């Protein structure tokens, strides 16, 4: 197998995808309607809002927070979020002095049930290589300035461990309810390339 064989060789990838789908459908291996449902699910239902609910619950329920940090997959499932790429979710907490940031150096491992599908920058070779070598600089370029006394840990997601960051609850949100906290939590904060800001 050469690296240039297959898709993209001469004809557009859209045609090659369609050709593959036709062949597999004819052989009864896939059902286009089932594919439609999978696509719709990830386009409209599964996204960072799920993770935001997990984070808001952890911020307001110490017992839940403890369970989440002990067994991420089980605690996430408590809120009804499970499915492909939802196995082996491990949650790490960001604090004023400790900052975790997530990458998948080899491909694009990501906890789909709580964050949806990864954004393009997460899959990009530059992010995957550079965040390991120079996390402080990359985070700064992404708009997150961390002072030198903050310890940064880069977490490499794989099929065995899919990391999710529990961001630090912003100051001044003590009186907000769980429901009011949910919209504050962003995807980027749960990957560790941003902090959650108070409203």
Active site amino acids: 104, 107-109
Residue 116 CA: distances (Å) to CA of 47, 146, 151, 178: 4, 27, 28, 21
- Looking at the DSSP assignment, which residues form a beta bridge with residue 151? 98
Does residue 152 bind other proteins (CB under 8 A)?
no
Binding test (CB under 8 A) with other proteins, winner from 54, 186, 192, 196? 186
Kind plus residue range of the DSSP H or E element containing 14: helix 13-26
The whole-angstrom separation of Cα 122 and Cα 157 is 11
SS3 state at 44? helix
Does residue 3 bind other proteins (CB under 8 A)?
yes
CA–CA–CA angle 177, 183, 188 (5° rounding): 125
Q: How far is the CB of 45 from other proteins (least distance, A)?
A: 7
Does residue 143 bind other proteins (CB under 8 A)?
no
Does residue 188 bind other proteins (CB under 8 A)?
yes
Site string for other proteins, 40-79 (x = CB under 8 A): x-xxxxxxxx--x---------------------------
Q: How far is the CB of 4 from other proteins (least distance, A)?
A: 8
- Select from 198, 136, 167, 161 the least CA-distant residue to 48: 167
Chain contacts with other proteins (rule: CB under 8 A): 1, 3-8, 11-24, 27, 29-32, 34-36, 38-40, 42-49, 52, 84-85, 106-109, 116-117, 119-120, 123-125, 159, 182-183, 186-188, 199
């Amino acid at each position: 197998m050469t690296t240039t064989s297959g898709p993209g060789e001469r004809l557009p990838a859209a045609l090659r995808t369609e050709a593959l789908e036709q062949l597999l459908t004819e052989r009864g291996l896939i059902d286009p309607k089932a594919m439609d449902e999978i696509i719709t699910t990830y386009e409209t239902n599964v996204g960072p809002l799920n993770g935001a609910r997990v984070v808001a619950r952890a911020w307001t329920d110490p017992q839940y927070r403890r369970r989440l940090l002990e067994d991420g997959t089980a605690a996430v499932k408590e809120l009804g979020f499970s499915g492909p790429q939802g196995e082996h979710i491990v949650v790490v907490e960001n604090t004023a002095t400790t900052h975790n940031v997530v990458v998948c150096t080899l491909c694009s491992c990501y906890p789909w049930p709580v964050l949806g599908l990864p954004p393009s920058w997460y899959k990009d070779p530059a992010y995957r290589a550079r965040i390991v070598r120079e996390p402080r600089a990359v985070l700064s370029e992404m708009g997150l300035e961390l002072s030198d006394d903050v310890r940064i840990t880069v977490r490499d997601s794989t099929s065995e461990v899919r990391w999710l960051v529990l961001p630090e609850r912003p100051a001044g949100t003590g009186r907000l309810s769980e429901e009011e906290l949910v919209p504050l939590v962003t995807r980027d904060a749960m990957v560790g390339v941003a902090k959650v800001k108070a409203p």
